[in-house]
Amino acid sequence: MNTAGTAGTAGTAGTAGTAGTAATADSALPAGQQPVYPDPAALRRVTEELSGAPPLVLPGECDRLKDRLAAVARGEALLLQGGDCAETFDGVSEHAVHSKLTTLMQMSAVLTYAVAIPVVKVGRLAGQYAKPRSLPTETREGVTLPVYRGDAVNGPAFTPQARIPDPERLLRAYRASSHTLNLVRAFTASGRAGLGQVHEWNRDFIAGSPLRARYETIAAGIDRALHFMRATGARPRDFDDSEFFVSHEGLLLDYEGPLTRHDDRTGRSYAASGHMLWIGERTRDADGAHVAYFSRIANPIGVKLGPATTADAALRLIDRLDPDREPGRLTFVVRLGVDRVREVLPPLVEKVTASGARVVWACDPMHGNTLVAPSGHKTRRFDDILGEVRGFFEVHRALGTHAGGLHVELTGDDVTECLGGGHDLGFPDLFHRYESACDPRLNRGQSLDLAFRVAGFLEDARPALDGLAG
Ligand SMILES: O=C[C@H](O)[C@H](O)COP(=O)(O)O
Ligand SMILES: C=C(OP(=O)(O)O)C(=O)O
């Protein structure tokens, strides 16, 4: 595991006020990837304000997501988790939220048809403002500055001033998350995303896709299913499948600690910053401050597992984070790379399954497949992404276990950050619309390409899924 970057201690996260104290991290433990703020008094003011701020999500919502993920763990549902690599404060708009939600809903409709089980939709959204980095600094034309760590920490501009960690940004992250969640809740409550409407959007996508002939069979199948449902007398709103949750990497302990709330109903503590939080590959040390904090919150949680993960490390994480072996509590998000997934995943799944744990297995086909283009852009090839997903599903089929879902960096806009896909983007296209604040995302069309292509594997896997669900 790479723990490069500024390592601090959880420090103020444990002293952040009454609301946060029950579940905050132990300040004695090492906490990787934490910013070092030049003005501790300013940080203290911010954490105090966050401690008194209203929760962004409620415990009951987090429990509902845990129930949905328990169904995934049992093989009765699929997880689709996706959104920006790094959200930005400037990027909060009705359009941006709407286009990400509709993209995920369109993907979900295709996947639901393919597997004939519900798809649980979780955005990397409303809180994804902090990034763990491989190196603490970056150098351009001989000038070296601290690296950009996400809008919640510092600014992306390559100036010494912008790169100084500013605790006020934690408050801006809270407000931006609140505005985003407000849009998510308004949109999902609006009834504008019924299955019939979502399928119409997919029809529009197919009409403009160079691969329309390939996708037509699935679209025609969905047409027939919708006609059948309407013929039974069901009304369009009966097909509303817009339940949606939000998630982010729980990286900044000075943010998560103060935003932790005790729930009198259950007697447990919850991260109030998002329904689901995950621990990144660089901070999943079983003896570190992140794992300690996550062990004390009751939300459904994820842990990223990279190719160096051993089965013993995975079992240790289960003991620390899911001691009661509660289905839906723990999702392992494996990000192994197209070349390693078939070799690394089987022993992990076998040993975890043999231990009796019922985790959700999700595939992140992005983070193991990053390359640098000749132009210097970080990018990923669509075929590698698809190849890792294919490997992930094949491994689970061979083992008779449930391939629980996908975790993807994507946007609803027509950016040009990843190569390939239906419109076969190449290296020169990276100059057109590369907007990611950190890692390259699938654009809207590539995301839908992925859903339609994966739907092919999943339809094949349906008998095995039926067997598991029975
Ligand atoms: O999104 C994940 C990480 O934050 C990202 O891949 C780190 O990128 P870096 O290797 O450029 O620091
Ligand atoms: C940092 C991320 O991934 P990982 O921890 O797997 O590198 C991420 O998903 O944003």
**What tens digit of pLDDT does each residue of 224-272 get?**
998 988 899 886 566 677 899 999 999 999 999 999 999 999 999 999 9
Predicted local distance difference test score (pLDDT) of residue 230 = 87
pLDDT band at 462 (very low <50, low <70, confident <90, very high): low
Domain positions in the chain: 8-135+166-193+241-469
pLDDT number for residue 69: 98
| Protein residue with its CA nearest to atom 10 in ligand 2 | 85
The mean-pLDDT minimum among 14-23, 159-168, 171-180 falls in 14-23
280 Cα: distance to centroid of ligand 2 (angstroms): 5
d(Cα 314, Cα 334) in Å, to the nearest integer? 11
- Give me the mean pLDDT over the 332-352 stretch: 98
Fold category of 8-135+166-193+241-469 in CATH: TIM Barrel (3.20.20)
**446/77 Cα distance (integer angstroms):** 23
Mutate to test the pocket of ligand 2, among 128, 281, 344, 436 (most ligand atoms within 8 A of CB): 281
- pLDDT value of position 293: 98
| Burial of residue 424 (number of CB atoms within 10 Å: 0-12, 13-18, 19+) | exposed
Whether the ipTM is more than 0.95: the answer is yes
What pLDDT, on a 0 to 100 scale, did the predictor assign at position 238?
A: 65
Tell me the per-residue pLDDT of 44-78, one tens digit each, with 9 for 90 and over.
Answer: 999 999 999 999 999 999 999 999 999 999 999 99
Report how far residue 427's alpha carbon sits from residue 420's, in angstroms, rounded to the nearest whole number: 9
Question: Quick one: which of 184, 178, 309 has its CA closest to 245?
Answer: 184
How far apart, in whole angstroms, are the C-alpha atoms of residue 222 and residue 219?
Answer: 5
* Sign of the torsion angle spanned by Cα atoms 391, 82, 51, 44: positive
Distance, in Å, from the CA atom of 378 to the CA atom of 371, rounded to the nearest integer, reads 6
Residue 195 has pLDDT above 60, yes or no: yes
Q: Identify the pLDDT of residue 457.
A: 75
Nearest atom (ligand 1) to Cα of 370: 6
Tokens of 338: 């197209």
Tell whether the torsion through CA atoms of 165, 167, 173 and 175 is positive or negative: negative
pLDDT at residue 129 above 70?
Answer: yes
Residue 394 three-state SS:
helix
Above 90 in pLDDT, residue 81?
A: yes
Q: Which range (190-194, 212-216, 301-305) has the least confidence?
A: 190-194
> At 338, is the pLDDT very low, low, confident or very high (cuts 50, 70, 90)?
very high
pLDDT digits (tens, 9 = 90+) for 30-48: 999 999 999 999 999 999 9
Question: Three-class SS of residue 460?
Answer: helix
pLDDT at 469 over 50: no
Mean pLDDT value of segment 146-172: 98
H helix or E strand, kind and range, residue 263: strand 260-263
- Say whether 118 sits in a helix, a strand or coil: coil
pLDDT for residue 278 is more than 50: yes
Residue 428: exposure state from Cβ atoms within 10 A (0-12, 13-18, ≥19): exposed
* The dihedral sign for the CA sequence 201, 202, 205, 206: negative
**pLDDT-based confidence at residue 463 (cuts at 50, 70, 90):** low
Classify burial at 454, counting beta carbons within 10 Å of its beta carbon; exposed 0-12, middle 13-18, buried 19 or more.
buried
> Which ligand has its closest atom nearest to the C-alpha of 282?
2
Residues 461/397, Cβ–Cβ less than 8 Å: yes
Higher pLDDT, 466 or 291: 291
Query: What is the rounded CA–CA span in Å between residue 207 and residue 294?
Result: 45
Comparing CA positions, the residue from 122, 114, 118, 109 lying closest to residue 71 is 118
How much is the pTM?
0.93
C-beta of residue 169 within 8 angstroms of C-beta of residue 152: yes
Nearest CA to ligand 1 atom 5: 133
Comparing 238 with 1, which gets the higher pLDDT?
238
Which amino acid residue places its CA nearest to atom 2 of ligand 2?
A: 280
Question: Which of these, 253, 251, 259, 252, lies nearest to 48 by C-alpha position?
Answer: 259
The share of the chain scoring above pLDDT 70, in percent, equals: 91
Position 441: which residue type?
Answer: R
Question: Among 245, 205, 197, which residue's Cα sits nearest to residue 405?
Answer: 245
Up-side HSE of residue 90: CA atoms within 13 Å toward CB?
Answer: 6
- Check pocket membership of 367 for ligand 2, CB cut-off 6 A: yes
Taking the centre of ligand 2 as the mean of its atom positions, its distance from the CA of residue 108, in whole angstroms, is: 22
Q: What is the mean pLDDT of the chain?
A: 91
pLDDT for 6 equals 31
Rounded alpha-carbon distances, angstroms, from residue 390 to 334, 345, 376, 406: 13, 13, 28, 11
Binding-site positions for phosphoenolpyruvate read 124, 281-282, 304, 335
CB 243 within 8 A of CB 188: yes
The mean pLDDT value for 402-413 works out to 97
Element (H, E) at 378: strand 378-380
**CB proximity list for 213: less than 8 A, separation 6 or greater:** none
Ligand 1 centre to CA of 438 (Å) is 7
